[in-house]
Homo-oligomer: A and B are copies of this chain.
């Protein structure tokens, strides 16, 4: 007897709070036989789905996590593969599609994968700060674990050249405590004014959410933790009533 192959939903769960999750994301977890994810994200949903089976792998074992999803599905199980924020923004959608051809050759139907979008930190963090990305914007990760620093540097320069508002992901970690400082210096050298309006948000959608607005030169001397998303306004952004606002142009 041949097992029916299961479905894999790659689910963006948002910042973690049920209130900031879409119904589609919630249903995918509810309908799954097994919920797969990084330990920290599994902990965010474990209480809500107490009766589910969970499969976690630690950091740096992302590819093993992807393979586990295909293996479960090939055994006939429906899988919810969860990512914080959105599954397609620095999430696991891309590696899953990169592995897909290999599993298609093993009998996995390509259409059995579906990405379920979620609220990524650029969006949820922006809502806390006001309206920092209300015009054209870039999202850049400062993590050089998988991306050469020269590429990150090139993108920071291009973002200033194009006068984009910017959301910075992974602005810090134990090994990269000075990366935000370096990034700010690159943006200043690229011509951004030291008084450029900026801000950052810690623990978005979780206990202890905290937001701060500041100038680019103040940001350069700020130490943020790894649970922080940083926003750089464009050249016309302003701090209004304590909020970071990048104008769309409806009001002159």
Residues of chain A touching chain B, judged by Cβ–Cβ distance below 8 Å, are: 12, 14, 18-24, 27, 62-63, 66, 86-91, 93-101, 104, 110, 114-120, 123-124, 126-128, 130-141, 146-147, 151-152, 154-155, 157-159, 161-164, 240-243, 245-251
Minimum C-beta distance from A37 to chain B (A): 15
Known contacts A126-B88, A131-B93; decide if A62 and B250 are in contact (CB<8 Å). Answer: yes
Main secondary structure of the interface of A (DSSP, over half): mixed
Considering the complex, give the chain B residue whose CB is closest to the CB of A96. B131
What chain B residues lie within 8 Å of A128 (beta carbons)?
115
Minimum C-beta distance from A25 to chain B (A): 9
Among B90, B98, B139, B241, contact of A97 (Cβ-Cβ < 8 Å): B241
A100 CA to B152 CA, complexed, in Å: 36
A50 CA to B19 CA, complexed, in Å: 23
Known contacts A86-B123, A251-B98; decide if A117 and B20 are in contact (CB<8 Å). Answer: yes
What chain B residues lie within 8 Å of A66 (beta carbons)?
250
Given A90-B135, A136-B147, 10 further pairs, Cβ under 8 A = A86-B123, A86-B127, A88-B132, A88-B134, A89-B123, A97-B240, A100-B240, A101-B240, A117-B127, A158-B161
- Complex contact A146–B89 (CB within 8 A): no
- Complex contact B14–A19 (CB within 8 A): no
What chain B residues lie within 8 Å of A91 (beta carbons)?
131, 134
- Complex contact B23–A130 (CB within 8 A): no
A95 CA to B250 CA, complexed, in Å: 7
Among B89, B119, B245, B249, contact of A22 (Cβ-Cβ < 8 Å): B119
> What are 26 pairs between A and B in contact, CB < 8 Å?
A19-B23, A19-B27, A20-B117, A86-B126, A88-B134, A91-B134, A93-B126, A94-B134, A94-B135, A94-B247, A95-B248, A95-B251, A97-B241, A97-B245, A98-B251, A100-B243, A115-B126, A115-B130, A117-B124, A117-B127, A119-B123, A135-B147, A136-B140, A154-B161, A154-B162, A155-B163
- Which of the listed residues A94, A115, A137 has the most CB atoms from chain B within 10 Å of its own CB? A94
What chain B residues lie within 8 Å of A243 (beta carbons)?
97, 100
